[in-house]
């Protein structure tokens, strides 16, 4: 039940409650049909003490989504033209639900990477800004990791871009399997670059998660043995009074340090990295 309306002291169900539908009842007919239906029952036989009812299905993309039902406890059935009225109302509801579903899907697509199903760069940036503000306001830890596939171009060149895409999909699933339970966000932020936001997580714990990600790739035969996939991961924690941009820059500096020191490793940000990279 999404909602109901009636006169004072009418027997109505509240939104969220469940109504029993009998196998041969009006609801069953509406779920399997496309047109308005009516039904009358004897005194004391119907739900809510209503003897007469009329309804029409709400159909979305040729699939029954719900129904609009009116019930009458006065003498006499619904007038004939009420079938057209409730059908028109159900059609309006169908259009409204379809439009809402389309908007929701478009909003999801705007924040989702189509290949991996992970959050995209836009979703990552928005979430990082929110999490940084929350962490600073409540004096909580916040960490970010950046993950880069070592020599990914060689995978594409040797096995083809379709194989490269499969590698990224496998990586996404492996990373999700070792993520902490909770509100952490994993995103694809570039071609072969992924990132993770770990709320209420100091950098040493984030580094532990990153090490589990490296181990998961080593355990994945297709990635480690066939495609020779390894990862460079940079980890950084939010410093007091810092910003989201600074946190991301620190993670990026840690990532470059991981690459410069031989790849296939996790490196946590340290203050001296910024000076060494400038040189």
Q: Domain 121-278: which topology?
A: Alpha-Beta Plaits (3.30.70)
With beta carbons less than 8 A apart as the criterion, state whether 163 and 227 touch.
yes
Phi, psi of 205 (to 5 degrees): -70, -35
At 250, the pLDDT band (50, 70, 90 cuts) reads very high
Is the pLDDT assigned to residue 58 strictly greater than 60? yes
Give the pair of three-digit tokens for residue 165: 């895409």
172 by DSSP, 3-state: which?
A: helix
At 53, the pLDDT band (50, 70, 90 cuts) reads confident
Alpha carbon dihedral 225, 228, 231, 232, in 10-degree steps, equals 140
At 51, the pLDDT band (50, 70, 90 cuts) reads confident
Q: What is the pLDDT of residues 154-210, one digit of tens each?
A: 999 998 999 999 999 999 999 999 988 778 999 999 999 999 999 999 999 999 999
**β-bridge pairing 185-188 and 193-199:** antiparallel
Identify the residue with better confidence: 14 or 177: 177
Q: What is the DSSP string of 187-249?
A: EE-SSSEEEEEEET--HHHHHHHHHHHHHHHHH-HIIIIIS---EEEEEEEPPTT--HHHHHH
Q: Which residue is it, tokens 């181990």? A: 215
Res 45: pLDDT: 63
* Mean pLDDT value of segment 11-19: 81
Beta bridge partners of 57: 67
Lowest mean pLDDT, pick from 32-41, 47-56, 135-144, 179-188: 47-56
Q: Could you give the CA distance from residue 198 to residue 247 in angstroms, rounded to a whole number?
A: 12
Q: Could you give the CA distance from residue 240 to residue 218 in angstroms, rounded to a whole number?
A: 36
Res 118: pLDDT: 95
Res 3: pLDDT: 85
With beta carbons less than 8 A apart as the criterion, state whether 199 and 132 touch.
no
Q: Which residue is it, tokens 């950084």? A: 236
Identify the residue with better confidence: 227 or 66: 66
Res 278: pLDDT: 47
Identify the residue with better confidence: 223 or 54: 54
Q: What is the pLDDT of residues 77-129, one digit of tens each?
A: 888 889 999 999 999 999 999 888 888 777 767 889 999 999 999 999 999 99
Lowest mean pLDDT, pick from 24-28, 132-136, 144-148, 267-271: 24-28
9 by DSSP, 3-state: which?
A: coil
Identify the residue with better confidence: 216 or 207: 207
Identify the residue with better confidence: 60 or 276: 60
Beta bridge partners of 232: 148, 265
71 contact partners, CB below 8 Å, separation of at least 6 = 46, 47, 48, 50, 52, 53
With beta carbons less than 8 A apart as the criterion, state whether 26 and 39 touch.
yes
Segments making up each domain of the chain, as ranges: 26-110, 121-278
Res 49: pLDDT: 67
Is the pLDDT assigned to residue 59 strictly greater than 50? yes
Q: At what angle do helices 161-178 and 203-219 cross, to 10 degrees?
A: 130
CATH number of 26-110: 3.30.450.40
Identify the residue with better confidence: 256 or 51: 256
* Mean pLDDT value of segment 222-239: 87
């Amino acid at each position: 039940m999404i909602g109901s309306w009636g006169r004072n002291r009418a027997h109505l169900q509240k939104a969220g409650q469940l109504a029993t539908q009998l196998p041969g009842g009006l609801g069953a007919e509406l779920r399997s049909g496309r047109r308005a239906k009516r039904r009358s029952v004897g005194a004391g036989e119907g739900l809510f003490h209503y003897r007469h009812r009329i309804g029409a299905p709400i159909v979305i993309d040729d699939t029954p989504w719900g129904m609009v039902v009116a019930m009458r406890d006065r003498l006499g059935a619904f007038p004939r033209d009420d079938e057209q009225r409730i059908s028109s109302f159900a059609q309006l509801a169908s259009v409204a639900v379809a439009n809402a579903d389309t908007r929701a899907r478009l909003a999801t697509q705007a924040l989702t990477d189509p290949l991996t199903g992970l959050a995209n760069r836009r979703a990552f940036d928005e979430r990082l800004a929110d999490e940084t503000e929350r962490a600073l306001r409540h004096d909580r830890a916040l960490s970010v990791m950046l993950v880069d596939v070592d020599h990914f171009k060689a995978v594409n060149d040797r096995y083809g871009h379709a194989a490269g895409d499969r590698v990224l999909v496998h990586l996404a699933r492996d990373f999700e399997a070792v993520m902490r339970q909770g509100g952490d966000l994993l995103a694809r932020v570039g071609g072969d670059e992924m990132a993770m936001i770990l709320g209420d997580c100091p950098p040493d714990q984030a580094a532990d998660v990153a090490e589990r990600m490296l181990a998961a790739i080593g355990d994945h035969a297709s990635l480690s043995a066939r495609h020779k996939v390894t990862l460079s991961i940079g980890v950084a924690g939010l410093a007091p009074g810092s910003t989201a941009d600074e946190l991301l820059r620190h993670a990026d500096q840690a990532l470059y340090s991981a690459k410069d020191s031989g790849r296939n490793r996790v490196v946590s940000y340290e203050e001296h990295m910024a000076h060494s990279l400038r040189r």
